[in-house]
Amino acid sequence: MTLAKMGDAENEQPKNLTDLPAEILLLISANFETARDLRALALSCHTFHRLIRDDGWKLFVKASFPSLSIPNPALGRHTWQQLAESLTWQSRCWDRRALQFHALLSSKTVPTNDRDTRQFHRRNQRLFQAIVDAHFDPSTQEELVVWGAGEDIVARHRERVSKDQGSKSSWHRINGKDLGFQVGHDDVNAVKIIKHQTGRKILSGRHNGKLSLVSAEPQSFGELLSEFILTTTPEAQSNGKPQQQEETVNSLDVLQNGTSTLIAAATKTSVVIYDLPEELTSKITPLTVYDLQEDVFTSETSRLSRAKWMEQGETMALALSGTANPLRYLAVTPTGWTHHTAAKNLDIAAKFELKDSGNLCPNSLEPVYRNGQTTGRTSLILSSWRDGTVRLQDLRTSSPFDAVYQDNIDPWADAEALMSYGAERFITGGGDGLTVKVFDFRWTKAYYHTSGLSCQSCLPFPPPSQSFIKQPTQYIRGRAKCDYLRQSLCHWHEFSKSIYFRPNAKYFLSNSLSTLRGRSIWSFVRGSDISPNFYVGISGGVLEANLEPCPNFYPPEIGTIDPNFGFPDWRSRAPEHSGYSSRAAPPMLMEIGDGLSYTGNDQPIRLPRMLECAGPRSFSLGMLEASQHHRLDINYQNHWDMALMATQSIAEWLKHRERIRP
């Protein structure tokens, strides 16, 4: 080629969009807000189809859900496009409060009076506190949920076959009485599922101090693999006495990084750390023991309740009771572990009038990850306190991320259990019976499902009941359509992202079944960040919560469960030999405000209305589109609200809002 021709080739301009380098095309597609637009681009030509299939969906998922831990689908039975489909579907369900519950209740009752077990009344029965753990493997589509039921351990294993077929499931049990365990003294306090070598194992800690590892595989379930030695002092180790009888395992936490597995067991006075060997032995001794008794405890009532790994094992958060500074942490130093009191943000404490008087809910520690791709690297901790607040703070520094959350309707109800979904939302429950609360962290979100819906000239409907936050007043007249060139959104799209129109929600379950009354919540767990369901450990059983929108018509159209990770038969009955009965637990919904703590939260206010789970409704064709723009799932929609939106102008709607505003 001559120099002249080479110059002409270098100056040649691309004639089509597809002539641009792949890197530039991916930068363009990375700005798409919805999966719908990305899919439309992929269908436009072979070049875009190949580009988006190979890299576009991956970039969309990571940009839209940065705080979730997303499994790499390279070796699994799913693709990046399926991950995008499921995560956007789940986000829509969360925002529209499309959450349903199913109860698994034990038929086993425990008498509190052992002197006469033949004659006792219902008021004398004690229900066990279910402590749950779950694991979902997207590569095999298998889910395992395990819970401690008093002195027993119960497990359910199921494998997803397809979207339209029932799952393959089996139930298993370790009967504590067969092993010589007694009710109460030998109850399971903590349980964890560990993926070890080629199979799964169950790590359980009991009230009697016994810590053991058993097989979780269906064909060898319950087979004892290893026992762990709880040793608190060298003197206790040398005298030959069984130390398990002197200690209580209050909590367990597992940190798995590649082939390394670290276990932290919290007893009343110490943190015992184990390094699980690749080749298991019958007895496993501690890697190290940190005794808190000399450094922390000032009275006989002080004790350690919970320990959680953070910062990839370099830090461990601690929850204590009976002390003035109940939130502590251990940090690794060149000389070993050192103990510190968690840093406090004095400005936050003064703003919300916080008083740290040892009133931390002992089982409520939950690490929060702002970057799901670096699992374990966080110093942010979420904790619940007896004054009704849920506090987010940095253990080491007074960080700008500190925030305080609270139920604006019932600000005094504390939370015994917490579970966070990255930086998207967190779930609480336990202080006021069987009520599950969904809180938004109120950080800027990367994905809104409303961006994929058509423009509307009205405001989001129906108007929420917000007790403290001010209503938006910046209404721009005549903006019925989005103007993307001017980066101007229509009324509906703009205010659908506002905190005012996205209140938190509380699900009441006690009234759905008489057998659920008087029970409490003790634990939350989910199988993975992409699971469309989670589990709630309650008194005497387990609740399975599943994202499931109500169908527009019956029989339901395809899409009422997660299209790639949902179990279509999740409401199936428990087998007779399981010792459990199963039944639906339809919720009642109440919106409880923006969830931020205010000094005036204890002021009397008008309660928001309670919304019943009404089930499917038959809409006319004219109303079906309006139902898609409703803030809530069809279960909670009102025909009158949608009829008003379909017929009236935004000015008339604003007048209506002023009339019904609480």
Q: Are residues 132 and 38 in the same domain?
A: no
Buried/exposed 71-82: b ≥16 CB within 10 Å, e otherwise: bebeeeebebbb
Per-residue confidence at 188, pLDDT binned at 50, 70, 90? very high
**Strand (E) or helix (H) holding 42:** helix 35-42
Per-residue confidence at 96, pLDDT binned at 50, 70, 90? very high
Altogether, the residues listed in the chain come to a count of 662
> What span, in angstroms and rounded, lies between the C-alpha atoms of 645 and 462?
9
Question: 158 in a domain, yes or no?
Answer: yes
Dihedral over alpha carbons 369, 372, 375, 377 (to 10 degrees)? -50
Q: What is the pLDDT of residue 352?
A: 79
Q: What is the pLDDT of residue 619?
A: 63
What are residue 582's DSSP bridge partners?
104
Q: What is the pLDDT of residue 111?
A: 41
pLDDT tens across 391-416, in order?
A: 999 988 888 778 999 998 988 888 99
pLDDT tens across 191-228, in order?
A: 999 998 878 999 999 999 999 999 999 999 999 999 99
Tokens representing 526 are 């989910």
Question: 402 in a domain, yes or no?
Answer: yes
Question: 464 in a domain, yes or no?
Answer: no
**Strand (E) or helix (H) holding 651:** helix 650-660
What are residue 264's DSSP bridge partners?
253, 273
Question: In this predicted structure, which of 5-14, 46-55, 490-499 has the lowest mean pLDDT?
Answer: 5-14
Contact 338, 330 (CB under 8 A): yes
pLDDT greater at residue 359 or residue 619 = 359
Which domain covers residue 346, as residue numbers?
121-444+504-529
pLDDT greater at residue 574 or residue 471 = 574
Question: 73 in a domain, yes or no?
Answer: yes
Contact 327, 315 (CB under 8 A): no
Per-residue confidence at 647, pLDDT binned at 50, 70, 90? low
Phi first, then psi: what are they for 514, rounded to 5°?
A: -65, -30
- Residue 293: burial class (beta carbons within 10 Å; 0-12, 13-18, 19+): middle
Q: Are residues 181 and 52 in the same domain?
A: no
Average pLDDT in the chain? 83
Phi first, then psi: what are they for 282, rounded to 5°?
A: -65, -35
> What span, in angstroms and rounded, lies between the C-alpha atoms of 97 and 84?
20
> What span, in angstroms and rounded, lies between the C-alpha atoms of 301 and 204?
25
Question: Does 306 have pLDDT greater than 70?
Answer: yes
At 447 the three-state DSSP class reads: coil
Q: Name the percent of the chain lying above pLDDT 90.
A: 46
> What span, in angstroms and rounded, lies between the C-alpha atoms of 450 and 502?
12
Question: Does 356 have pLDDT greater than 90?
Answer: no
Q: Which of 102-111, 287-296, 420-429: highest mean pLDDT? A: 420-429
Question: Mean pLDDT, to the nearest integer, of 111-120?
Answer: 40
Q: What is the pLDDT of residue 658?
A: 47
Q: Are residues 47 and 141 in the same domain?
A: no
Question: Is the bond into 66 cis (omega within 30 degrees of 0)?
Answer: no
Buried/exposed 2-35: b ≥16 CB within 10 Å, e otherwise: eeeeeeeeeeeeeeeeeeeeeeebbeebeebbbb
H-helix segments, 166-311: 234-238
Residue type, 491: H
DSSP one-letter code for 483: B
Nearest CA among 504, 496, 501 for reference residue 448: 496
Tokens representing 494 are 């703009």
Question: 472 in a domain, yes or no?
Answer: no
Question: Does 184 have pLDDT greater than 90?
Answer: no
Q: Are residues 177 and 32 in the same domain?
A: no
**Which residue among 529, 562, 588 closes a domain?**
529
Per-residue confidence at 366, pLDDT binned at 50, 70, 90? very high
How many of the other CB atoms lie within 10 Å of CB of 343? 17
Q: Are residues 136 and 30 in the same domain?
A: no
Nearest CA among 250, 209, 212, 251 for reference residue 230: 209
Question: Mean pLDDT, to the nearest integer, of 639-657?
Answer: 55
Q: Are residues 64 and 179 in the same domain?
A: no
Per-residue confidence at 587, pLDDT binned at 50, 70, 90? very high
Contacts of 483 (CB under 8 A, 6+ apart): none
Question: Does 122 have pLDDT greater than 50?
Answer: no
Question: Mean pLDDT, to the nearest integer, of 4-19?
Answer: 58
pLDDT greater at residue 360 or residue 120 = 360
> What span, in angstroms and rounded, lies between the C-alpha atoms of 300 and 298?
7
pLDDT tens across 414-435, in order?
A: 899 999 999 999 999 987 889 9
Question: In this predicted structure, which of 41-45, 325-329, 356-360, 570-574 has the lowest mean pLDDT?
Answer: 356-360
Question: Does 108 have pLDDT greater than 70?
Answer: no
Q: Are residues 286 and 166 in the same domain?
A: yes
Question: Does 299 have pLDDT greater than 90?
Answer: no
Q: What is the pLDDT of residue 193?
A: 97
Question: Does 648 have pLDDT greater than 70?
Answer: no
Q: Are residues 300 and 435 in the same domain?
A: yes
Nearest CA among 445, 564, 502 for reference residue 64: 445
> What span, in angstroms and rounded, lies between the C-alpha atoms of 419 and 434?
16
Question: 490 in a domain, yes or no?
Answer: no
pLDDT greater at residue 475 or residue 576 = 576
Question: Does 103 have pLDDT greater than 80?
Answer: yes
Phi first, then psi: what are they for 450, rounded to 5°?
A: -65, -20
Q: What is the pLDDT of residue 110?
A: 43
Question: 598 in a domain, yes or no?
Answer: no
Question: Does 244 have pLDDT greater than 80?
Answer: no
Q: Which of 104-113, 136-145, 348-357: highest mean pLDDT? A: 136-145
Question: Does 121 have pLDDT greater than 50?
Answer: no
Domain harbouring 132, CATH code: 2.130.10.10
Q: What is the pLDDT of residue 632?
A: 93
Tokens representing 330 are 């251990």
Question: Does 347 have pLDDT greater than 90?
Answer: no
Contact 513, 496 (CB under 8 A): no
Q: Are residues 231 and 367 in the same domain?
A: yes
Per-residue confidence at 237, pLDDT binned at 50, 70, 90? very low
* Domain tally, the chain: 2
Contact 420, 368 (CB under 8 A): yes
Q: What is the pLDDT of residue 357?
A: 63
pLDDT greater at residue 49 or residue 124 = 49
Q: What is the pLDDT of residue 560?
A: 84
Q: Name the percent of the chain lying above pLDDT 70.
A: 84
Contact 602, 449 (CB under 8 A): no
Question: 364 in a domain, yes or no?
Answer: yes
pLDDT greater at residue 363 or residue 658 = 363
Q: Are residues 231 and 298 in the same domain?
A: yes
Question: Does 646 have pLDDT greater than 50?
Answer: yes
Contact 270, 248 (CB under 8 A): no
Q: Are residues 152 and 69 in the same domain?
A: no
pLDDT greater at residue 488 or residue 147 = 147
Q: Are residues 88 and 126 in the same domain?
A: no
Q: What is the pLDDT of residue 4?
A: 46
Helix/strand/coil (H/E/C) assignment for every residue in 545-581: EEECCCCCCCCCCCCCCCCCCCCCCCCCCCCHHHCEE
pLDDT tens across 53-79, in order?
A: 888 999 999 999 999 999 888 767 789
